[in-house]
Amino acid sequence: MIRLFDSVHGEVRNLSLRNAGRVSMYVCGPTVDNLPHIGHGRFSLVWDVARRWFTFEGLSVHYVTNVTDVDDKIIARARAESRDEADVVKQYEGEWWDAMERLGVATPDDAPHATDYIEDMVELIGSFLERDVAYLTSDGVYFDVSSVPDYGLLAGQPLESLRAGARVEGNDEKRSPLDFALWKNAKPGEPSWSAPFGPGRPGWHTECVVMSLDLLGDGFDLHCGGLDLKFPHHENERAQAVAANRAFARHWDHNGWVMVGDEKMSKSLGNFTSLTDLLERTDPRAYRLLVLRSHYRSPIEVTEATVADAERALARLDSLARRFDLPALGGHAFELASTHHWEGASLELFERVTAAMNDDLDTPLAVSDLFEAVSLANAGADAGHETSARRLAQSINVLFGALGLSLLAGSHAVDDVSRQLVADRDAARRAKNWAEADRLRDELVARGWVVEDGAAGTVVRRP
């Protein structure tokens, strides 16, 4: 039985599925107006790991994540750069999927675009107006949150206290500051679509309701996203489903922030660091490992030190792969559940990792069990117990593969001599001994590496 935190009930519960053996999950995706940031990388990895683990457990998963391709921020960027909105979307959606591929995030089963669902959104908004749960103002159509009796369920606060805390801003024709835009009336030079209630474009909160119900059906299993989406985005999605008399997600779950110092990372705080930049500076597997080493609901800190620490841990795994000549398995998680990988495997390790993962995706415990097993496998081989050590190493490889992390023994793995040269060069740079650092760089280049100065020090890769 898989147990998972439920954001509505505030506790870990059994994941009760609509259909036995099948998980339908919806993860709110990016607005493609900029390069993906590190927080995007985290939520993508967290829910990729969940999806892979469910699959490894023998469940069939239908995974949907959307692309928001019409939004104020996209329009603002197009304006600022004198470009078409479509051109902005094309560029940043391309960057998004590139980053996902480098992170090893498995391709979603469906990746709907908001603009493909305008007609359905118009129909839903029209039905809200007919039934008086939405109203017209001079700048568009708004949803009346007081029409949903349990509005505030995800926020964990009743409507009254949410209203007391809400800031009054923008449109003063709104009946309540919590009411949100379903439809924004067309403005000159902005993309717009026709609708019975006037030309315009949808607000952000409507697309996910329409797309999740269309692709996954009523009462789908799991709706996920970053903690910043819980309120108001998810609250507002749910409110619309309630108003439409549709059964919405059975479970809600949210991942924690990415912290820089003690501040949440976001573009608005100005501490934006792009994921694209991070992936150029480090092995993408190191970021997956960094994410796995924290519980998905806890905040994580992405700093030079935590990245460097994850790189060192990854090097231990690759060196295990070299020692036992293990095949690279990651990326094939969907085939890993098949039993042939388990012939002669370490059942005890399998059971420990399974118990941790099935208890609210406790990846830090699973990873610490796996690293303990790495020490045991190396010690076993040192002591000449080749067969049992190999069995353990193979099990480690399969279980990391199930979490989407490939151990690489191949030519791209850094050999011990090169690793020492990298360490010596970092030491020389810290001591500001530039001549020695340059000499060590030349030596690494002579050994066939491309040498880069990363956030965590020298990074080498094959050309």
- Site residues (vs Zn ion, CB under 5 A): 28, 208
Any long-range contacts for 186-192 (C-beta under 8 Å, 24+ apart)?
Answer: 189/79, 190/75, 191/70, 191/75, 191/85
Question: Which of 28, 222 has the CB closer to Zn ion?
Answer: 28
- Phi and psi at residue 129, in whole multiples of 5°? -65, -45
- β partners of residue 326: none
| Min dist. Cβ of residue 385 to Zn ion (A) | 52
Question: Which of 77, 205 has the CB closer to Zn ion?
Answer: 205
Interatomic CA distance for residues 100 and 43, integer angstroms: 11
263-264/258-260 β-pairing: antiparallel
Interatomic CA distance for residues 37 and 275, integer angstroms: 5
| Min dist. Cβ of residue 206 to Zn ion (A) | 10
Question: Which of 65, 397 has the CB closer to Zn ion?
Answer: 65
Question: Which of 4, 28 has the CB closer to Zn ion?
Answer: 28
- β partners of residue 183: 141, 202
- β partners of residue 140: 137, 184
| Min dist. Cβ of residue 6 to Zn ion (A) | 18
| Min dist. Cβ of residue 252 to Zn ion (A) | 11
Within 220-325, residue ranges assigned H as helices are: 235-243, 275-281, 284-292, 304-324
Question: Which of 206, 397 has the CB closer to Zn ion?
Answer: 206
| Min dist. Cβ of residue 68 to Zn ion (A) | 8
- Residue for token pair 């495997």: 345
Question: Which of 124, 357 has the CB closer to Zn ion?
Answer: 124
Cβ distance 127 to 167 under 8 Å? Answer: no
Cβ distance 185 to 200 under 8 Å? Answer: yes
| Min dist. Cβ of residue 152 to Zn ion (A) | 18
| Min dist. Cβ of residue 191 to Zn ion (A) | 20
Cβ distance 73 to 35 under 8 Å? Answer: no
Question: Which of 26, 287 has the CB closer to Zn ion?
Answer: 26
Question: Which of 248, 296 has the CB closer to Zn ion?
Answer: 248
Within 282-433, residue ranges assigned H as helices are: 284-292, 304-324, 333-336, 347-358, 363-382, 386-402, 416-430
180-185/200-202 β-pairing: antiparallel
Counts for the chain of helices (H) and strands (E), in that order: 16, 15
**Residue of 50, 43, 56 lying closest to 24 (CA atoms):** 50
| Min dist. Cβ of residue 439 to Zn ion (A) | 53
| Min dist. Cβ of residue 271 to Zn ion (A) | 24
Q: How many CA atoms lie within 13 A of 10 on its CB side?
A: 5
Question: Which of 205, 341 has the CB closer to Zn ion?
Answer: 205
